[in-house]
Copies of this chain bind each other. A is one copy, B any other.
């Protein structure tokens, strides 16, 4: 038997970067794939790994190169990664594909994600009667104005305290109308506006704190609403430890992590 075409690489490397500015921050959220081809026939047929760059190294390289080389010019960053691996012995071909998950600027340090956002309406008639509304998939992220400190520690605690972090969540909020507003669509838009503003404008000490401030704002703005409930999954962007590669960590390169995630539920009432 003969080895035919082959390649190997790392897929779904998620990397985010904050560009700190004087007046405003910028933010990039990428998913990167690195694929290599080269002189690795012996790896397949004889189990000789001398030429097999580990895919874990590819992952690390993406983060390591991101600190100095990642800008909005994604093609240039892809080229930097290609040339890095192309320079290695036995590597004939490198292909780097980057997908940018788009975030729209809302404030100087606040962004709304391009995810699927949906309006919800719910009516019950019969022995139980209610009119509720909601929003799902409102994805928001801020590069400033969030901390998490002063929490209890035990033998399993390794999380460092932080006075400044990237905070992101996909807001699911549901609220009950004590009395029906005259224009439910306008009211929904107003609630959305308050949720977004409170997320970006209010400093928070935790997701719980942020959620309470958002709920408080909605109840203040819309008298017909009796209570509002939130589910706020924490979309973690973790600092990626570049010091393992002999680099300084400059506070700009993060690893978005899908699972596990902090999962916060709360209700605010009058």
- List A residues at the B interface (Cβ < 8 Å): 1-14, 33, 35, 37, 40, 43-57, 59-61, 64, 72-79, 82-83, 86, 88-89, 91-102, 114-128, 131, 133, 136, 148-159, 180, 183-185, 204-209, 211-212, 215-216, 219-220, 227, 229, 233-234, 244-246, 258-270
A131 in contact with B75 (CB, 8 Å): yes
Task: Return 7 A-B CB contacts under 8 Å, by A number.
Answer: A4-B229, A9-B262, A47-B205, A60-B156, A78-B122, A101-B118, A258-B259
Pair B159/A262 contact, Cβ less than 8 Å: no
Residue of B nearest to A63 (CB): B156
Given the complex of chains A and B, what is the CA–CA distance between A134 and B119 in angstroms? Answer: 30
CB distance from A44 to the nearest CB of B (A): 4
Query: Do A263 and B100 touch (CB < 8 A)?
Result: no
B86 touches A266 (CB 8 A): no
* Beyond A1-B270, A72-B185, 16 additional pairs, beta carbon < 8 A: A3-B269, A35-B263, A45-B212, A47-B205, A48-B205, A49-B205, A52-B208, A53-B151, A54-B159, A55-B260, A57-B154, A57-B156, A60-B157, A96-B122, A100-B119, A114-B116
